[in-house]
Structure 1
Amino acid sequence: MRDLRHQDLRGADFRESDLTGARFMGVIMQDVEIDGLIGNIVINGVEVTSYVEAELDRRHPVRLLLRSDVPADLQEAHRQLRRDWASTIDRLATMAPGVEHERVAEEWSATETLRHLVFVHDSWFRRCCLGSTALFTPLGLGPDFVPDQERQGLDRSAAPPLTEVLQVREEQGAELSRWLQEVTPEQLAKPAPVPEGPGWPPYAAGRSVLECLRVVLNEEWAHHQFCVRDLDLLATAGGATEDEPS
C-alpha cells in the first residue's frame, strides 16, 4: 500500500483508478469532483453513501425503476431513458456544428458516448441476455481495456457521423423494447445464456439475465448524465452556442 504524506495533489486527475480502502486523514478537499462506483464512504465520521443515493433517487426517479425486477417497471425505465436521450439529441441539433465530436476533459464526446452504448447493447444484451454469437457492430466503441476488439467485430479506426450512430441506436432501442414487452419474471431470473468461449464481457457467466439487463440500463442512465454534464460545460464555455427558441 502506497503511503502518500505531505503531498501536493492539487489538480490531480485520477482515472480508472482503484481507491478501495484508501484513507484520507487531515486532508484539504475543496472543489473536488468524485464520480464512480462508490460505496461505504465515511466523511468526518459520517457514512454518506446512503445520503448520496437518496438524493440521486430524488433527482432521477427512473433509478427506482432500474432496480426493479418487474418487467413492466423495466420497460417503463427503458422508455424514459430513450425519451431522455431523444431530448439530448434534439439539444445537440441546436448547438454549434461539430459539438457532437467535442471532448471535455478527455471524456468521450457525445458521439463516442453513443457508440459506447452500441457496444454495451451488443455485449451485455445481445450476447449475455440473448446468447448471440454474432460479431459486434463495427462502429461500437469499447473501452481500451477490452481485449481482442477487432476479433469481436469492432473497427478501432471507425469515425462515423452522428447520423449513422443514431440509426444503429434506434434499431437497438427498438429491439430491446420489443424484448421487454415479452420477457417474463421467470426468464429474467434464469442464468444468462452467455456463449462459451472468449468474448466480452468475460465475467458475465453465472449472472442472471436480469443482472445483465441492468448493466445495459444503468449504462444508458449513467452515460446520459455524463453527456448532459459535458454539453452543459461546452455551452457555458461558449464553444457550443445553443440557438434561442423561435
Structure 2
Amino acid sequence: MRRFDDEDLTGAEFRECDLSRARMVGVVMQDAEIDGLVTHLVVNGVEVMAYVEAELDRRHPVRLLIRSDQPADLREAWRQLRDDWARTTERVRSMPEDSEHHGVDGEWSMVETLRHLVFVHDSWFRRCVLGITEPFTALGLGPSLVMDRAEDGLDPSARPSLDEVLAVRVRQSSEIERWLAEVTPDQLAQAAPVPDDDRWPPYAKGRTVRQCLGTVLTEEFAHHGFCTRDLDKLSRHVSSQDS
C-alpha cells in the first residue's frame, strides 16, 4: 500500500487509477472533482453515495429507465438517449469549426467519444446481446490493447469526420430499436450469448442479456454527460476569447 504523508497534491490529476479502499485523513480538499465508479464513499463519517445517486436520478430521470427490467422502459430510455445526442449534435454544428474534434483537459473530443460508442455497440450489443462474431467497425475506438490487434478489425489510423461517425451510429441505433421493439422480459433475463473467443469484452461471460444491454445504455448516458461537460468548457473558452 502506498502512503502519502504531508504531501502537497494541489492540482494533481489521477486518471484511470484504482483508489479502492483509499483513506484520506486530515486532508484539505477544496474545489475537488471526482468522476468515476464510486461506491460507499464516506465523508466525515457520512456515507454520501445514496444522496449523490438520488440527486443524479432527480436531475436525470432517464437513469431510472436505464435500470428497469421492462422492455417498454428500456425503449423509452433509448429514445431519450438518442434525442439527447441529436440535440448535442445540433449544438456542436453551431459552434466554431472543428469543435467536434477538440478535446478538453486530455479527454476525448466529441467525435472520439462517438467512435467509442460505436465500439461499445459492437462489443456489448452485437457480440454480447446478439452473439455476432464479426470484426469490430473499423472507425470504432476501443482500449489500446484492442486497437493494437489488427485481427479485430479496428483501424488505429482512422480519422473520420463527424458525419461519417454519425452514419454508423444511425445504422447501429436502428439495430437496437428493432431488437427492443420485440424483446420480452424472459429474453432479457437469459444468459448472454457471448461468443467463445478472445475478443473484447473479456468479462462479459456469465452476464445476462439485460446486463449487457445495460452496459450499452449506461455508456451512452455517461459519455453524453462527458461530452456536454466538455462542450460547455469549449464554449466558455470561446466566449472568454471574444470578450
TM score, norm. by length of structure 2: 0.97
Q: Which one-letter code corresponds to 2:114 in the other structure?
A: L
Aligned to 1:125: 125
Please give the alpha-carbon distance, in whole angstroms, between the structure 2 residues aligned to 1:113 and 1:147.
Answer: 15
Please give the alpha-carbon distance, in whole angstroms, between the structure 2 residues aligned to 1:135 and 1:240.
Answer: 45
Aligned to 2:48: 48
Please give the alpha-carbon distance, in whole angstroms, between the structure 1 residues aligned to 2:239 and 2:165.
Answer: 23
Q: Which runs of 4+ in 1 moved over 6 A?
A: none
Tell me if structure 1 keeps the 8 A contact 2:40–2:48: yes
Listed as ranges, the matches of 1:60-99 within 5 Å are 60-99=60-99
Deviation per CA, 1:99-136, whole angstroms, max 9, x where unpaired?
Answer: 00001001000000000000000000000000000011
Aligned to 2:208: 208
Aligned to 1:178: 178
Listed as ranges, the matches of 1:1-246 within 5 Å are 1-146=1-146, 148-238=148-238
Deviation per CA, 1:193-239, whole angstroms, max 9, x where unpaired?
Answer: 00111100011000000000000000000000000000000000117
Tell me if structure 2 keeps the 8 A contact 1:95–1:240: no
Q: 1:188 to 1:148 in 2, by over 3 A?
A: farther
Q: 1:122 to 1:190 in 2, by over 3 A?
A: same
Aligned to 1:244: none
Q: 1:147 to 1:167 in 2, by over 3 A?
A: closer
**Identity across the alignment (%):** 62
Tell me if structure 1 keeps the 8 A contact 2:147–2:155: no
Q: CA deviation at 1:178?
A: 0.7
Tell me if structure 2 keeps the 8 A contact 1:114–1:165: yes
Please give the alpha-carbon distance, in whole angstroms, between the structure 2 residues aligned to 1:71 and 1:65.
Answer: 10
Kindly report the root-mean-square deviation, in angstroms, between the aligned alpha carbons of the 2 structures: 1.5
| Alignment gaps of 5+ in structure 2 | none
Higher helix share: 2
Please give the alpha-carbon distance, in whole angstroms, between the structure 2 residues aligned to 1:149 and 1:123.
Answer: 15
Q: Which one-letter code corresponds to 1:15 in the other structure?
A: R
TM score, norm. by length of structure 1: 0.96
Deviation per CA, 1:147-190, whole angstroms, max 9, x where unpaired?
Answer: 65422110011000110000000110111011000111111101
